[in-house]
Amino acid sequence: MNEKYKREAASDVVFNLEYNSERQRLIIPEYGRHLQKLIDQATAIEDDEMRNKAAKYIIQVMGSLNPHLRDVPDFQHKLWDQLFIMSDFKLNVESPYPIPSREVLELKPDVLHYPQNFPKYRFYGNNIKYMIDVANKWEDGEMKNALVLVIANHMKKSFLSWNKDTVKDDVIFEHLFELSGGRINLLESTEELLNTTDLMRTNKRMSNKTAPAGPPKIQNSKNNNNNKGGQKKTFQKNNNQK
């Protein structure tokens, strides 16, 4: 019997099963294992002409997975870069684009230094603290007094937006005194801030603007047909009904 058509034993087939956990890790899993094997075979080709021909064929296969981007020049550049990356930079072929290097691929971006502010009264936000610092640098006068009053009113509005309760002006003045380092003192001032009710109404109006609109109300057509002309349908009692 021909060895090519020899029936295999079931135990041998089970013994030779391959699991993905035992296989080589895919560098770009989106292309699948078959394409990865094609690239590995092309890398092992010794003839330069055959290897370049195999690389161009692999590029066509990769482009067929995204036919709407296959003929875009920038996309072709991306495919060639991915080809070299999937070959672990071992594929030696002629590329129409600059060949990427492992150092550039492994290059990490600079760390972004986010502002790490942990204010005591977080419901005021960082912008209030910036405004208070600016007010501290201004000279005393009507402009500074107007700015301080605006800051105090905004602090009260922010307080009410996170703490759904009334708040006295003395509390806002104490917080302002503390956040300004004692340079803005309104504890003994007779100035009155905006009314709590007006601020609450403003916060509610702003929250309604930012809230997504709900689904439109659907009227029952059956009720509309019964109430044509705005007349209310009346029901008469059937005397014959027991």
pLDDT at residue 5, rounded to an integer = 59
Measured CA to CA, the distance from residue 202 to residue 194 in angstroms comes to 11
Per-residue CA distances from 15 to 8, 12, 22, 115, 167 (Å): 12, 5, 13, 58, 76
Cα(first)–Cα(last) distance of the chain, in Å? Answer: 95
Domain assignments of the chain as residue spans, ordered by start: 24-105, 122-210
Six token digits for residue 79: 């495919």
pLDDT at residue 45, rounded to an integer = 93
pLDDT at residue 93, rounded to an integer = 93
pLDDT at residue 85, rounded to an integer = 93
Six token digits for residue 148: 């301080």
Per-residue CA distances from 174 to 42, 80, 83, 153, 160 (Å): 75, 65, 65, 13, 16
Six token digits for residue 167: 């708040």
Note whether 29 and 52 are within 8 A (CB). no
Which residues are CB-contacts of 81 (< 8 A; sequence separation ≥ 6)? 97, 100
Measured CA to CA, the distance from residue 242 to residue 229 in angstroms comes to 33
Note whether 6 and 15 are within 8 A (CB). no
Measured CA to CA, the distance from residue 117 to residue 12 in angstroms comes to 65
Each residue's pLDDT, cut to its tens digit, for the chain (242 residues) gives 455 556 666 666 666 677 777 788 888 988 988 999 999 999 999 999 999 999 999 998 998 887 777 667 788 888 999 999 999 999 999 999 999 888 888 888 888 887 666 777 888 888 888 889 899 999 888 898 899 999 998 888 888 887 767 788 888 899 999 888 888 888 887 778 888 777 777 666 666 555 555 555 555 544 445 555 545 444 455 555 44
